[in-house]
Structure 1
């Protein structure tokens, strides 16, 4: 990372964030603080419930636990700095700090794409190939798929980050955004970035489109199988878990695709900032609710834990 600074005059960046909203800075701070707190509590609760309840020790909940851990870290990459900037007059982030923030942000975003695809494959195997489910989604294979998602996210994002920060940055150094994301940082480069943008766009297409096509393919087969089911109870349970996953996929892919895959002519700073705030702050908070409210097993486990806590308090 240090070699990236050898040919640039910029040693730090200024993140404008909510600078234009000085009159409502404190209400924004408290709103985002409670959203962040809800994200930590919600995802932490999912991890705790899955870990403590033996009834939830299955591949589906293993990947849900992975997703909740990811959402916690994902939100923590940007939110503490956003909150600190709301209370601070000096809104600086170092050159290397910006590079690391972008790396972790892209890495976790890529990992989420892959995890959502793995979760779709898990549902496909459970519903369309139930006889092979225990073999295909064995504990060993689940760990391999999880490790593949996390490592692939890190490796792909490392290349993108190094590619962006190897460009010369000689000023200005003001990022008109909430954090170090690709479009606002690339805009500050001193050299022509057209070829870089094409390369980054191509990588984003591959990262977003490949898992998305796998998800669409899996759910096409799942829907076909569900329509052939004769048992209403089994169909209802399958629908419930699939709808939760598809809701999460729609929220994540909808915002991320519009953010990174739209033509340059449609780029809008205001829209860009709103979408970035939505998928980096709001989506991690919503995922625990999406998976819990429609999932009878998670709700039942949650009430069992509450009952145990209540009994302990009575003693």
Structure 2
């Protein structure tokens, strides 16, 4: 595209961002929600310059919560916030037009053949959740056939109001985002969605054993101060598997839910990618 682009990588700072906007009229930002938009860099830049405006945000890598999108629209005047999906080895998978919300994406069928399969690699019907496989249609360096990218999702066919008809992929996150405990299964993305009302931006889930009790520790990040007891009660109400219904008559506790609320930027991030490790299972160590 005939546009000026400035690559800052992982070394971007609030000062650099403000300089690019001021001196080069940068109006589009590409990045990962955990690194650039909107946590915590843009908030710091906005604090230093209340007049900061970013017209468009294109992000990928991890989903962005609706509360963060709302902050971008209200505080930075952002008009367009869209997501792209890609695999390190297979490049583009899907893109989000302005009419698709949440984690829905148009599939790049001309670039990658996307399949949704079960545990044995058998395709599942449209609308059912499964593992994502890609076959690269334009990768000339070497074949990439039915490559499991480690993500889960489901595909439907629809006529989008943007004018594009065809397959739409609902991206549901990493396949290792499944939390299995006490004969129950809960997905990391579903828990994060349930916490949307509390303006939670990031969620880390850790499964461990404490004094013989299976324990799920949920750590949240938010720009507002949160009460762990309130979040815990809301989650127990939304997910029966997270409630105290598993206590035996003799008081034996087989499972415990712990909620830790941290401020923005309070979770540990990978020093290279800037990503948060969303699911940790220490029962395997």
> Shorter-chain TM-score: what band?
under 0.3
- What's the TM-score once normalised by structure 2's chain length? 0.25
Provide TM-score, normalisation by structure 1.
Answer: 0.24
Higher relative helix content? 1
**More relative contact order, 1 or 2 (CA 8 Å, 6+ apart):** 1
